[in-house]
Amino acid sequence: MIDIKLIREDREIVKENIKKKFQDEKLPLVDEVYELDKKVREVQVKMDGMKAEKNKLSGQIGLLMKDGKKDEANKIREKIAESAEEIAQLEGEQAKLSSLIKDKMMVIPQIMDPSVPIGKDDTENVEVQKFGDPVVPKYEIPYHADILEKVGGMDKTSAGRTSGEGFYYLIGDIARLHEAMIAYARDFMIDHGFTYAIPPFMIHGDVVTGVMSFPEMEAMMYKIEGEDLYLIGTSEHSMIGKFKDQIIKRDELPIHMTSYSPCFRKEGGSHGLEERGLYRVHQFEKQEMIVICEPEDSMEWYDKMWNLTVEIFRNFDIPVRQLECCSGDLADLKVKSCDIEAWSPRQKKYFEVASCSNLGDAQARRLGIRAKGEKGTYYLHTLNNTVVATPRGLIALVENNYQEDGSIKIPKVLQPYMGGKKVIEVKK
Would you place residue 275 in the very low, low, confident or very high pLDDT band (cuts 50, 70, 90)? low
> Residue 255: is its pLDDT beyond 90?
yes
Average pLDDT over residues 35-63: 86
Beta partners for 337?
357
Selected from 3.30.930.10, 1.10.274.50, 3.40.50.12280, 3.50.30.40, the CATH number assigned to the domain covering 122-424 reads: 3.30.930.10
Q: Which pLDDT value is given to residue 272?
A: 38
Write down the pTM of the prediction.
0.89
Q: Which pLDDT value is given to residue 269?
A: 42
Report d(CA 216, CA 209) in Å as an integer: 10
| Contacts of 290 by beta carbon, 8 Å cutoff, 6+ apart | 236, 239, 240, 255, 256, 257, 259, 382, 383, 384, 385
Mean pLDDT of the chain: 92
Would you place residue 120 in the very low, low, confident or very high pLDDT band (cuts 50, 70, 90)? very high
Average pLDDT over residues 289-307: 98
Q: Which pLDDT value is given to residue 216?
A: 75
Q: Which pLDDT value is given to residue 278?
A: 85
**Does residue 75 or residue 199 have the better pLDDT?**
199
Count the helix, strand and coil residues of the chain and give each as a percent rounded to the nearest 5: 50, 20, 30
Report d(CA 33, CA 45) in Å as an integer: 18
CATH H-level superfamily of 4-105: Serine-tRNA synthetase, tRNA binding domain (1.10.287.40)
Domain boundaries along the sequence of the chain: 4-105, 122-424
What's the pLDDT tens digit per position in 169-198?
Answer: 999 999 999 999 999 999 999 999 999 999
Residues in the chain: 428
Would you place residue 270 in the very low, low, confident or very high pLDDT band (cuts 50, 70, 90)? very low
